[in-house]
Structure 1
Amino acid sequence: MWIIFAFASALFAGLTSILAKCGIKNTDSNVATAIRTIVVLIFSWIMVFIVGAQSAITEVEFKTWVFLILSGLATGASWLCYFKALQLGDINKVVPIDKSSTVLTIVLAFLFLHEEMNVLKIVSVILIGIGTYLMIQKKETKEQQGVQNKSWFWYACLSAVFASLTSILGKIGIAGLNSNLGTAIRTGVVLIMAWVVVFVTGKQHEIRKIARKEMVLICLSGLATGASWLCYYRALQDGLASVVVPIDKLSILVTIVFSYLVFHEKLSRKALIGLLLILVGTLCMIL
């Protein structure tokens, strides 16, 4: 059953990237992240009350609180970097880098969660790594080269690092805890962090300038994120982090298909080969 939740997480995560890209054309990425986190938080707590897990919050151990908070902080940092990268760069280049967090997660799962590292997993890591490299290597014109166009790369890399930490800390934090409740708690941490960043950067006044269409898209991306998180942490609670994470990263397929249909972003032959390597590596990981 946890595999089904992992695939559902990938579907909703793919939709999140597209909706978020549409919703931050003219809106500051930090402001958009803070707003969509409100939607995720509301959605998460609705699910907590639907499954009747709210009473368990008084039974949460101190260690669990610590790891949930750390996971929330890592998630907040990953989000802020990811959506900044999306705002600055090509979605077909940003998403593969973000999804490369799979490699780091597998290594961390081996080191800290003592999950098995066999030959097939090593081969999978190599394929995913090569595939990611091929997908982000694209010849740029002189007009495209510049500080702003290069900065998206570093934001995307930071997003991947924090996403890996999120998975490991989240896996530890939801051990013995209802996954819906764990998701709701950590979302609260993300919300606080996101709004602190908005006020520190003085962007709070831009909320009134957001166009209605972009606000709707930002909220829809929040709903997609909430659904993805609930499925992801449900899968993570029962399954291996080194397997759940690669499945979740299959959201790259959904993202690329929609980026072609919505933004008309096309893959080069090299990028297509890279995507196939990522898919093969992920399938090997599942096996």
Structure 2
Amino acid sequence: MMPAASSWFAWAALSAVFAALTAIFAKVGLSGIDSDMATLVRVVIIFVVLAAFVVATGKWMDPSTFSARNWIFLTLSGLATGASWVCYFRALKIGDASKVAPVDKFSLVLVALFAVLFLGERPAPREWLGIGLVAAGVIVLSLRR
């Protein structure tokens, strides 16, 4: 058994917990303010906390040592993250967190498809079943009563 600190599953599970708390805290925090402004405040807080964490843990690297490929794909990832957060906060502003967050997790299905197409990954049948169940759940949530 792998130690918890090096287990991808443990980190992914923690990510899910924090993502769930993000939705709940954001829904409450959006009350009476614009969702784009709220996203900006969130980004500033994330920047400060993460910068302090990187420095405190001795993980700072000189960004000038990054390759062009690193910069291109980290920039694209940052742009996609920003777009995702803007869309997510707007959805939370007008929708129920219990409905918005699961639909947002349709990204799991898209990640699997993109990983197959662009990264050459090959999920096992059991993994496709789980991915399919997530897709089915999103479809059920999107149906109007």
Instruction: Answer whether TM exceeds 0.5 for this pair.
Output: yes
Letter in 1 for 2:67: A
Instruction: Kindly state the Cα deviation for residue 274 of structure 1 after the two structures are TM-superposed.
Output: 1.3
Contact between 2:115 and 2:121, CA under 8 Å: does it hold in 1?
yes
Letter in 2 for 1:177: I
Letter in 2 for 1:265: E
Q: Distance in 2 between matches of 1:276 and 1:253?
A: 8
State the secondary structure of the residue aligned to 1:205. coil
Q: How many residues align?
A: 143
The question of 1:224 aligning with 2:68 is answered: no
The question of 1:198 aligning with 2:54 is answered: yes
State the secondary structure of the residue aligned to 2:58. coil
Q: Distance in 2 between matches of 1:279 and 1:194?
A: 32
State the secondary structure of the residue aligned to 2:61. helix
State the secondary structure of the residue aligned to 1:282. helix
Contact between 2:4 and 2:10, CA under 8 Å: does it hold in 1?
no
Q: State the match for 2:113 in structure 1.
A: 257
Letter in 2 for 1:215: W
The question of 1:159 aligning with 2:22 is answered: no
1:36-67: per-residue Cα shift (whole Å, max 9, x none)?
Answer: xxxxxxxxxxxxxxxxxxxxxxxxxxxxxxxx
Q: 1:179 aligns with which of 26, 31, 35?
A: 35
Instruction: Kindly state the Cα deviation for residue 253 of structure 1 after the two structures are TM-superposed.
Output: 2.1
Q: Distance in 2 between matches of 1:222 and 1:216?
A: 10
Question: Alignment RMSD, CA only?
Answer: 1.8
The question of 1:210 aligning with 2:66 is answered: yes
Instruction: Kindly state the Cα deviation for residue 148 of structure 1 after the two structures are TM-superposed.
Output: 8.7
Q: How does 1:132-147 map to 2 (within 5 A)?
A: 146-147=2-3
TM-score (norm 2): 0.90
Contact between 2:27 and 2:93, CA under 8 Å: does it hold in 1?
yes
Contact between 2:109 and 2:134, CA under 8 Å: does it hold in 1?
no
Deviates further, 173-182 or 254-263: 254-263
Q: State the match for 1:276 in structure 2.
A: 132
Instruction: Kindly state the Cα deviation for residue 269 of structure 1 after the two structures are TM-superposed.
Output: 1.2
Larger relative contact order (CA 8 Å, sep ≥ 6): 1
Structure 2, unmatched stretches of 5+, are none
Deviates further, 205-214 or 172-181: 205-214
Letter in 1 for 2:88: Y
Letter in 1 for 2:9: F
Q: Distance in 2 between matches of 1:254 and 1:277?
A: 13
Q: How does 1:121-132 map to 2 (within 5 A)?
A: none
1:94-122: per-residue Cα shift (whole Å, max 9, x none)?
Answer: xxxxxxxxxxxxxxxxxxxxxxxxxxxxx
Q: How does 1:43-54 map to 2 (within 5 A)?
A: none
Structure 1, unmatched stretches of 5+, are 1-144
Identity of aligned residues (%): 37
State the secondary structure of the residue aligned to 1:284. helix
Q: Distance in 2 between matches of 1:225 and 1:154?
A: 22
Instruction: Kindly state the Cα deviation for residue 285 of structure 1 after the two structures are TM-superposed.
Output: 2.4
Q: Distance in 2 between matches of 1:216 and 1:280?
A: 34
